[in-house]
Structure 1
Amino acid sequence: MAATTNPPDRPPVLSVRALNRATLERQLLLRRAALSAGDAVAHLVGLQAQNTRPPYFQLFARLEGFDPAELSALMESREVVRIVTLRSTIHTHTADDALTLRPLVQAARDRELKTFRRGLVGVDIGRLAAISRTLVEERPRTNKELRAALLTEWPDADPQALSVAARCTLPLVQVTPRGLWDRSGQVELTTVEHWLGRPASPVPAPDATVLRYLGAFGPASVKDMQTWAGLTRLREVFERLRPVLRTFRDENGVELFDLPDAPRPDPGTPAPPRFLPEFDNVLLGHADRARVIPPAYKGRNGVGNQSYGTVLVDGFLAAVWRVERSGDTATLTVQPLGRLVSAERDAVTEEAVRMLSVMTEATVYDVRFAAFLDFGD
């Protein structure tokens, strides 16, 4: 059973393992899915793409027979794009989502811009947006080029604040070859409307996005979704949707919402090892991350703003990893955060070799287990 039995007037309680298995199933991590790369990007409501390679590794962990060239081709054909959306970070989104999600999170970009107001004294933000749009739609511009042009208009402004203002006021995409598999270039920007040849949507009601979030990350609380999206004041949206949703409680008594017919597998369902890149959304998509990150390992998948590749074992964060290439050999080092038994190490090794065989051009694979990770080293 995925939930404990409760009196009829009280929502069922979902254990941490029940939440873990439900989340893994929605995230296509309990078993690889027979989906196209484009359909997976849409289902997951985007892939965290702060760096260029992680989206490819995210899809490898989730899809049967994934070939990095498939996602790269979608980027070249402009069916997916790299754009700042959720949590003010770059995500890989389908073209349709880029045109709808970016307007949805504009209020968060407006709040972000206010934090830079001291560097923008005397700057007409509307004029800055118009100048920036003209520049980047004339031809894609680097941040350095855009900043230099804006400084000629406002020489006393803070250069970083001018760049942030352009990013916050305009839906800027990173044009290819940036983000292509093994062909990535420097960051050059234009507007999403110009790149896709069609206008952005008006600011949509968040209801549909709430339902999609639950489909990919549920069961989840209001705070969970607000953390994922970087938005506030979503309680009223969940209340509006309450009649069509099912409710649960976690072990701390927090109310969780879910789609009525969404899968909630048995907590005992086996979860194979998965190698995830840095900043995978399954690790970032909830305010309470205990469903994937054991409390003892909280904060141990990175230092400061630096995040490591992570390994899920039995569905939970258990190790970090890195890969290095020398000639024809790819060496993948796994650093456990705790003790892995022999069977777990064997399963992790098998998954590591599978990943290296697809995600590198190496012909020799060396999988090593280092000592328990000590961030004091």
Structure 2
Amino acid sequence: MSIIKKFLPGIIVISIGIVAAMLIVKFGPEPDSQKAEILPRTIRSIEAKSTDIKLFIESQGTVAARQVINLIPQVAGEITYVSPKFVAGGRFEKGELILKIDPRDYEVAVITAEATSAERKQRVMQEEAEGALAKAEWQELGQGEASDLTLRLPQREGAMAALRSAEASLDKAMLDLERTEIRAPYDGLLTAKSVDLGQFLNRGNTIGTYHSTELLEVRLPLTNRDIAQFDLKGLQTGEKQYAVRLKGQFANKENSWNARVVRTEGIIDVNSRILYVVAELRGDELFSPDDGSHITIGQFVSAEIEGQTFENVVRLPRESLRQGNQVLIVDGENKLRTRMVDILETNNEYIVVSSGVSDGDIVNLSQLALSVDGMLVETQPQNALTENVAAVISQEANND
């Protein structure tokens, strides 16, 4: 009993506190409720505009000569002359003398053939004269029709055949003499030589490797998607050609050349599933319109091939494309909406859209999280953003 009396005042105080708190909660003023404010996210954007676009297909390859041959003599003999340019890297014009074989044996053969031909010609003239005399004598006798043998026609034909053989031998001797001089078959470049002055050549020996510089080619690989940009049938038959711009670096300097895609190689590589087309350069195309530099055999070049022209398509920056051929459009309520698009072309800089985006659509360019459909945004056009960045850079420069 004494213990209860000891703690009773405390129990009474706690009870009164609990009752007071309950009364305050029940009858006290309610706190003002606050609505959560949703702030829009600022994004970079661009307005879609339809236009007509000519597509360019990118590829790369190495410059090579269309004609590469081994220089081989057609006659035997000792080399008595070589051109100063008969070295690896030497350039020759069509018809220019490369080397000369000792011609004396062939000059003697020509003289002998000329003598034989003259002798055979004299024999023909003699047979013609004897035949005419035999015919006149027969006509004087008046004993009917003379035989061919009487008129010496077989003898004349034999002499004519011997003359033709002698003339053929003379032509052959003169041709062999002409072949003692090995001349460039076309404008070209000697890339290797295997003989030199004083060496004896047999017919069929290789004296060097010669590349044409009149006509150069570049093999350009195309994927299945790239091929769709061409009139493949017209290209295969040669009825259609496509302009191509080649770019390459040499001596730490970049140049460009104009060329033409003239044909395909006709088969698809079984390993890479790639079809090669061939770009051709000749004449003025071999020289760069930039500074006149000649394109070099073996040079690595990139290529931009002129493809088809598409009407009423939209070109957007590459950063607007999301996974699964999707873009984000800002709707009338400034909310992001996902759109599926059909893409004609894509590269590191831009995409070309044929459907899914219309004129005037505002397209997002910012990198956002995956779940963004319905997100409230505030757009900042790409052009305006660029101007703001330029203004900031200018201000920082003035401050410095």
More strand by share: 2
**TM-score, scaled relative to structure 2:** 0.19
Q: Which protein, 1 or 2, shows the higher relative CO under an 8 Å CA cutoff with sep ≥ 6?
A: 2
Scaled by the length of structure 1, the TM-score of the pair is: 0.20
Larger Rg: 2
